[in-house]
Amino acid sequence: MAWRRILRLNATLGLTIVVYFAAPVRDVQRSSGYRILITIVALVMLTLWVLWQLRRHVDDESRRIDGLLAVILIVIVAFALAFYIVEQRRPGEIVGLNSRLDSLYFTVSTLLTIGYGDVHAEGQLARALVLVQIVFDVVFVATAAGLLSSRVRSAAQRRAQERTGSPGPRERSDPAR
């Protein structure tokens, strides 16, 4: 069963990377039709894939972390693509951003609050987008940390109960009753 989870995560990663690197952003009117078609097909497949995963994760708590990882990946790629588009449409907005890989690097370093400074927002539009990403990251990362902490705590309690054979908190009788 674990190999299926790994396969799903890798498929999500693969589709997301295809969308990121194939999406035409410079001049859509003159872009090759095959790149637009590949992007649309990959986006549809990615959307269906994520919806299918989310539907499966509703009942199985152990899979929700997989969905969380997929969402983090998609959010990173979405912001990276947005930064790349901003720099392509308005050169000079983001200093040091010359390629899609630079954009991915900038997005991840912003997410992790590293901020090396070699790539940075110079223009107002880019700074506004960075602010949106930072606010989103703070809310999302706080939620993700809370979810992961809750999962780890639940798993530790479950293992402790299995080792000791003691009943769970819901199974214990309340002496005050």
Secondary structure of 112-165 as H, E, C letters: CCCCCCCCEECCHHHHHHHHHHHHHHHHHHHHHHHHHHHHHHHHHHHHHHHHHC
Closest CA to 46 of 1, 2, 81: 81
- Domain-embedded: residue 171: no
Token pair, residue 131, equals 């602010």
- Domain-embedded: residue 177: no
- Domain-embedded: residue 38: yes
* Structural domain count of the chain: 1
- Domain-embedded: residue 152: yes
Contact 24, 43 (CB under 8 A): no
Predicted TM-score of the model (pTM): 0.68
- Domain-embedded: residue 169: no
Per-residue pLDDT in tens (0 to 9) along the chain, 177 residues: 678 878 878 888 888 888 888 877 765 555 566 666 776 676 677 667 666 765 665 556 655 566 677 777 888 888 898 899 889 889 999 999 999 999 999 999 998 888 899 999 999 999 999 998 898 888 777 776 677 677 778 878 888 888 887 665 555 555 554
143: domain CATH number is 1.10.287.70
Tokens 């506004």 correspond to 128
Q: From CA 47, how far away is CA 103, in angstroms rounded?
A: 23
- Domain-embedded: residue 8: yes
- Domain-embedded: residue 107: yes
- Domain-embedded: residue 172: no
Tokens 């949106």 correspond to 132
Residue 15: give the domain boundaries: 2-164
Q: From CA 167, how far away is CA 173, in angstroms rounded?
A: 10
The residue count of the chain comes to: 177
